[in-house]
């Protein structure tokens, strides 16, 4: 793996990812976490953390910038797994190491992320040929005729439950809400969002306007957070607890999401063990499933423990 220049970089929705070098261990890319980046505004107030979804986003963009030598143009089909091991903060520099393998179903990129002090994440992404047809994703529907106990919730009512704020509050309304069971929430994607500010007035093509997968996943997670805080609101992470993303298993990605689309999240709580909750579900745009989530793990942790 020696064909990639050390000067290659890729623009993420939040910062510049630069290539440090290549070798027998794979491609190494680094991501300095600028405290001024928009993703730290509103996530969380008084205790900014680099969200796990952006670790996945960074690994994905770095993988596209550094594909295996024998591969055609690729597109992301699945996030097979992600484990988030330690939080990262403004001012940290993350180093990602990418390793590619190939099997009968396509190409797999295994990525690890670490700071100087901690291993931060382990991520496994599966890719398909970009020119192949996007396979339809199947989402589970709730039983017909069932109704929610609470809802709809307006945006102020959502803000009274979860701590996300300006630039990182990624749900606009909750349509249905059954505490302990499920939630349905929506998010309107607009071109005025910070993730599109780096685009030129005349972008190269429609692909440039694809909504970042990190924001798509984060919007789903925030719907899950509404469900996780059904019994007790969690708007101040310093006084209460930090709702942390612990990991993912088996996420599928469908057609790209574009400005003007309305994300419709359907989230179900499948299991609760102590301070850990596990969710599954899907996201639709105009009836078409664009994201499936096999399992998303949310855990509550005191801010003081995470700082340590």
Q: Which residues contact 148 (CB under 8 A, 6 or more apart)?
A: 176, 177, 178, 182, 184
What is the topology classification, in CATH, of domain 1-133? Answer: Thiol Ester Dehydrase; Chain A (3.10.129)
Strands 26-32, 93-103: pairing kind: antiparallel
- The predicted model scores a pTM of 0.88
- Alpha-carbon distances, residue 31 vs 8, 61, 99 (angstroms): 13, 12, 17
The answer to whether the beta carbons of residues 163 and 233 sit under 8 Å apart is no
- Res 47: pLDDT: 86
Asked whether the domain spanning 140-308 has the same topology as the one spanning 1-133, the reply is yes
Other CB atoms within 10 Å distance of the CB of residue 205: 6
Q: What is the DSSP letter of 87?
A: -
By CB atoms closer than 10 A (0-12, 13-18, 19+), residue 32 is: middle
Alpha carbons 180 and 160: distance in angstroms, whole number: 18
- Res 10: pLDDT: 43
Alpha carbons 130 and 134: distance in angstroms, whole number: 9
Instruction: Indicate the average pLDDT of the chain.
Output: 85
Which candidate, 203, 193, 205, places its Cα nearest to that of 263?
193
Q: Which helix (H) or strand (E) holds 84?
A: strand 74-84
- Alpha-carbon distances, residue 28 vs 63, 99, 114, 145 (angstroms): 10, 9, 11, 52
Whether the per-residue pLDDT at 142 is higher than 60: the answer is: no
Alpha carbons 257 and 58: distance in angstroms, whole number: 18
Alpha carbons 291 and 281: distance in angstroms, whole number: 8
Band (pLDDT 50/70/90 cuts) for residue 23 is low
Band (pLDDT 50/70/90 cuts) for residue 127 is very high
Alpha carbons 142 and 272: distance in angstroms, whole number: 20
DSSP string across 167-210: TT----EEEEEETTTEEEEEEE--TTSGGGTTS-SS-SSGGGGP
Whether the per-residue pLDDT at 221 is higher than 70: the answer is: yes
Across the range 82-92, mean pLDDT stands at 93
What is the topology classification, in CATH, of domain 140-308? Answer: Thiol Ester Dehydrase; Chain A (3.10.129)
Whether the per-residue pLDDT at 239 is higher than 60: the answer is: yes
Report pLDDT digits (tens) over 146-198: 555 677 889 999 999 898 888 789 999 999 999 999 999 999 999 888 888 77
Alpha carbons 10 and 4: distance in angstroms, whole number: 13
Which candidate, 195, 54, 213, places its Cα nearest to that of 127?
213
Band (pLDDT 50/70/90 cuts) for residue 70 is confident
Look up residue 290 and give its two tokens: 């664009």
Alpha carbons 55 and 50: distance in angstroms, whole number: 8
Look up residue 294 and give its two tokens: 């096999």
Q: Domains of the chain: which residue ranges?
A: 1-133, 140-308
Whether the per-residue pLDDT at 288 is higher than 90: the answer is: yes
- Please tell me which residue, 167 or 77, carries the higher pLDDT value: 77
């Amino acid at each position: 793996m020696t064909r990639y220049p050390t000067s290659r970089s890729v623009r993420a929705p939040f910062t510049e990812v630069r290539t440090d070098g290549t070798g027998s261990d794979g491609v190494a890319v680094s991501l300095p976490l600028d405290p001024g980046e928009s993703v730290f505004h509103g996530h969380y107030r008084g205790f900014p953390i680099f969200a796990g979804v952006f670790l996945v986003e960074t690994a994905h963009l770095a993988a596209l910038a550094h594909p295996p030598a024998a591969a055609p143009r690729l597109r992301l089909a699945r996030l097979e797994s992600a484990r988030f091991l330690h939080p990262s903060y403004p001012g940290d520099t993350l180093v990602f190491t990418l390793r590619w393998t190939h099997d009968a179903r396509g190409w797999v990129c295994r990525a690890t992320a670490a700071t100087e002090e901690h291993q931060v994440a382990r991520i496994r992404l599966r890719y398909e040929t970009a020119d192949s047809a996007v396979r339809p994703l199947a989402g589970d529907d709730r039983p017909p005729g069932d109704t929610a106990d609470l809802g709809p919730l307006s945006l102020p009512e959502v803000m009274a439950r979860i701590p996300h704020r300006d630039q990182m509050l990624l749900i606009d309304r909750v349509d249905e809400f059954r505490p302990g069971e499920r939630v349905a929430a929506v998010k309107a994607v607009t071109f005025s969002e910070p993730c599109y500010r780096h685009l030129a007035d005349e972008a190269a093509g429609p692909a440039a306007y694809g909504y970042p997968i990190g924001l798509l996943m984060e919007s789903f997670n925030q719907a899950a957070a509404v469900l996780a805080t059904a019994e007790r609101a969690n708007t101040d992470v310093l006084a209460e607890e930090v709702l942390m993303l612990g990991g993912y298993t088996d996420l599928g990605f469908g057609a790209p999401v574009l400005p003007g689309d309305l994300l419709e999240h359907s989230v179900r709580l499948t299991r609760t063990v102590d301070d850990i909750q596990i969710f599954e579900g899907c996201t639709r745009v105009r009836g078409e499933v664009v994201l499936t989530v096999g399992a998303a793990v949310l855990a509550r942790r005191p801010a003081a423990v995470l700082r340590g």
